[in-house]
Every structure is written in structure tokens, then in C-alpha cells.
């Protein structure tokens, strides 16, 4: 095989591997509000894989929201909580496969059609935070966003 062909094959395999990793949920950075699953699997960079676990030391109320995920929307698209609240989102994916991310809270999830994915965290900072689809999902992908308002 020629050197140019080997490089093309290597690049394609690398791209497939990266896309596969992203579609399987990727990684979630740890922070003071998010901890690893009880199995304790961390990589050397401090990232963990799996579901969120939250500090029990929050000082606010527990708030739970059901969010419907369709092509290409989160409903509701605006959610208000208070600083210190323990927040739980139940993301019910009715159409397509999508992602859900709130970068400031270290949240990144892959959402599969027909499944409900729960995300928990403590709203430890006041402000307005965008949540969005972080998995390329089609023509309306760039419009798939919402806002978390922490008062």
C-alpha cells in the first residue's frame, strides 16, 4: 500500500474512533458538584465516565424537570432555579439521537431515541447558562438550545 493511502486509512480510522467515543457519551469533567460513579473509574486527566453524582452538601431545594427532546428542540427551553438547588433533568428523547451539554456545570450526555436520560447537578453559580445539543443531529442542530437561569 502506498504511503498516501496508509495516511488516509489512518485518518479515517481515527475519525471513526473519535465519533464513536462522542456518540457513546464522551466524558464529563469532574468538578465540585459532580462526582464519579461508585465504581470510581477516572482517567489520568480527572475525567469520569457514566452518570452524575452530586455533593450532598447543597443548601437549596431539590428541583426536578422533565424535558422533551425532539428534532430540533428542548421543551421547555428555559428553566429557572435558585443558586444552591439540586437540579435533576429527565431528558425524554422522542425523536432522533442528540446530545445535551451545559459546559459551566461539566455536563455532557449522549441521548438515544426512545430513552430517558437523567442528569443531576448542583446549581452552584448564579447566571444564565446555555444548554445545547452537542451531537451533530441534522439540519436544525445549531438551533437546538435552551437556557438555564440560576437566580
- Nearest in space to 51 (alpha carbons), one of 129, 124, 117: 117
Q: List pLDDT tens digits, range 63-101.
A: 999 999 999 999 999 999 999 999 999 999 999 999 999
Task: Evaluate if pTM is beyond 0.85.
Answer: no
Between the ranges 7-11, 17-21, 40-44, 134-138, where is the mean pLDDT highest?
Answer: 134-138
pLDDT of residue 59: 73
- Structural domains for the chain: 3-150 (2.60.40.420)
- pLDDT: is 138 or 7 the higher one? 138
For 47, half-sphere exposure in the C-beta direction (CA atoms, 13 angstrom radius) is: 10
- pLDDT: is 59 or 66 the higher one? 66
Distances (CA, A) of 34 to 9, 11, 15, 96, 138: 38, 34, 29, 27, 30
Q: Are 105 and 33 in contact (CB under 8 A)?
A: yes
Which residue has 459532580 as its cell numbers?
34
Amino acid at each position: 500500500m502506498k504511503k498516501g493511502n496508509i495516511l488516509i486509512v489512518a485518518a479515517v480510522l481515527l475519525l471513526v474512533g473519535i465519533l464513536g467515543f462522542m456518540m457513546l457519551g464522551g466524558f464529563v469533567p469532574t468538578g465540585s458538584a459532580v462526582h464519579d460513579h461508585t465504581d470510581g473509574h477516572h482517567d489520568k486527566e480527572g475525567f469520569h465516565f457514566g452518570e452524575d453524582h452530586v455533593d450532598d452538601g447543597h443548601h437549596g431545594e431539590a428541583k426536578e424537570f422533565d424535558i422533551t427532546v425532539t428534532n430540533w428542540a428542548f421543551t421547555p427551553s428555559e428553566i429557572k432555579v435558585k443558586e444552591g438547588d439540586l437540579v435533576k433533568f429527565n431528558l425524554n428523547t422522542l425523536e432522533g439521537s442528540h446530545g445535551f451539554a451545559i459546559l459551566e456545570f461539566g455536563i455532557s450526555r449522549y441521548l438515544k431515541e426512545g430513552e430517558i436520560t437523567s442528569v443531576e447537578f448542583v446549581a452552584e453559580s448564579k447566571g444564565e447558562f446555555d444548554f445545547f445539543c452537542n451531537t451533530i443531529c441534522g439540519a436544525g442542530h445549531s438551533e437546538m438550545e435552551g437556557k438555564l437561569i440560576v437566580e
